[in-house]
Amino acid sequence: MRFEAPAGYLVVSGGELVRQGMEGGRSFAEYRQDEPGKYVAAAVGRFADLGLRQEGRLAVRAFGLPRTREQTQSLLLSTEKVMAFLTDLFGPCPYSFMNLAVLEGRTPGGHSPPGMILIQQRPPLLIGRTALRDDPASFYDVPGFFLAHELAHQWWGQGVAPQNYRERWLAEAWAQYAAALWVRKLDRFAIWAWRHTDAGPVNLGHRLGHLRGDPQIYRAIVYDKGAYVVHMLRAIVGEETFDRAIPAFLAEHRFSKAGTDDLREALEAASGKALQPYFTSWIYGTALPVLRYTSKTEAAGSAYRTVVDVRPRNLPGPVPLQIAVTTEGGREEQTVTLAAEGGHFTVTTPRPPRKLEINGDRALLARVERGR
């Protein structure tokens, strides 16, 4: 693909930059991308080629504007690290040449076309001057979150494309989950998910944003609740199984479309578990689990036995649940399997319990209530 621009400007697109220069007073750039893409994107600006970093079979070239030079160089290093992390998680990047272009804008933003990543950053003068509205999709205050989200779209969105607008979560929830794993934060998703879950199911996709004319609803449900559902599915099938099944799923559907059923079937085949009830509740439904528990502690010889009784509502099937008891001497954590109809669990501690926590690791997107 060859692009031309007025002198002083450079066009950044996806793929390997094979040639660039001046011809007849105009600048030109030629890119070669061997992998298929859904579309071609190009950014035109006073870009300078700031260098290439290659790690294994993946090469990343950075392009910065005169004012984003420094940020671009540091983003290039971060990009390399995030890409290595995502490769571990999802398998090889669908595109072997990536171009990173860094722009300036009032609102931070990004776009992730095939083989390319555009990051829009706030000019340093604006940072701290004007507050950005709290948003379900962009945790502006968490460094690296946005970059990881956009880069993950090379796998989810480009490498594999959602079948239709209802399957949007196959791109956004997964990009969001990958970003959360990268920054090790998931807790804020729960707040957004609970705030808007009644508005409609994840599977309503883009239409969620039009329900009340509030685009935050779409992002809260498709991005954040969706990411949490991915997290729960990972725990249900087991991390090891999940981490094997997902790269295989992505490889199988590479450069084609996939839907929720394809994903469910892949996870079912890998785990031998029936997952339809979870998808029915969490992707096609709106209800989220509520766990009501009671507990009783009694002395058992020289130790203390705490029996916890958990009664769930809206739980589609068995899930791993963490129960933690803190005593003066330490913390006793157990991960049990909670059945849809509930159960009771015993935690024995050498000292009297001071604090009991149900779902303390937030593995479940659940509301926990203490009963009497």
Q: Which residues would be at the binding site for Zn ion (CB under 5 A)?
A: 172, 175
Nearest approach, Cβ of residue 247 and Zn ion (Å): 20
Displacement of CA 59 from its chain's centroid (Å): 23
Nearer to Zn ion, 175 or 237 (CB): 175
Nearer to Zn ion, 63 or 146 (CB): 146
Nearer to Zn ion, 170 or 263 (CB): 170
Residue 164 and residue 108 in contact, taking contact as beta carbons nearer than 8 Å:
no
Q: How many CB atoms lie within 10 A of CB 132?
A: 14
Rounded Cα distance, 221 and 320, in Å: 23
Rounded Cα distance, 113 and 116, in Å: 5
Nearer to Zn ion, 175 or 364 (CB): 175
DSSP code for 115: T
Nearer to Zn ion, 117 or 283 (CB): 117
Nearest approach, Cβ of residue 88 and Zn ion (Å): 20
Residue 257 and residue 162 in contact, taking contact as beta carbons nearer than 8 Å:
yes
Nearer to Zn ion, 167 or 172 (CB): 172
148 Rama class: left (phi>0) / alpha (psi -120 to 50) / beta: alpha
Nearest approach, Cβ of residue 204 and Zn ion (Å): 17
Nearest approach, Cβ of residue 172 and Zn ion (Å): 5
Nearest approach, Cβ of residue 149 and Zn ion (Å): 6
Rounded Cα distance, 115 and 368, in Å: 43
Burial 197-221 (b: 16+ CB within 10 A, else e): bebbbbbbbeebbeeeeeebbbbbb
Nearest approach, Cβ of residue 270 and Zn ion (Å): 26
152 is written with which tokens? Answer: 């993950």
